[in-house]
Structure 1
């Protein structure tokens, strides 16, 4: 199992970013969440049993219509998420 925490900077709030990420996630075997941060970034945490699946999900976000809004991506490996079902938007 592999998990990543990703911070997206740019024009990523107020443009439907979280909802688009949730829609993209539905096409992959990933669990996790996405939320807006007070500093204007968006944070995503996701887990998959297959590292290639997780990487493909994150690549699809970059290659989607959202890609033009993303100016910077910071990615960290994290411990697997526990107690998370599906992929959700966190307020």
Structure 2
């Protein structure tokens, strides 16, 4: 299992991006979480096999219909908390 942390910027708050991410991650069978950040971006951590995470990242670039994703940054993570499912904060 691999774990990735992403910061997504653009028009990603107020457009259902967290709900879409939760749904998409669940379809991919990933564990993790997604939350809005005060700066208008969305942060998420996803855990799964590498191939699935790569496919999921491609989906993040698309986002839901009303969003406009400017950037998906893959960030270092030292988060070690156990993840049992994908949640939305």
**What range describes the TM-score normalised by the shorter chain of this pair?**
0.7 to 0.9
Equivalent in the alignment of 1:70: 69
* TM-score, with length taken from structure 2: 0.85
Q: 1:37 Cα deviation (Å)?
A: 0.3
* TM-score, with length taken from structure 1: 0.84
Q: 1:29 Cα deviation (Å)?
A: 2.3
Equivalent in the alignment of 1:56: 55
Equivalent in the alignment of 2:43: 43
> Which 4+ runs in 1 deviate beyond 4 A?
none
CA RMSD, 1 decimal: 2.0
Write out aligned runs for 1:1-91 (5 A): 1-48=1-48, 50-65=49-64, 69-79=68-78, 81-90=80-89
- What stretches of structure 2 of length at least 5 have no aligned partner? none
- What stretches of structure 1 of length at least 5 have no aligned partner? none
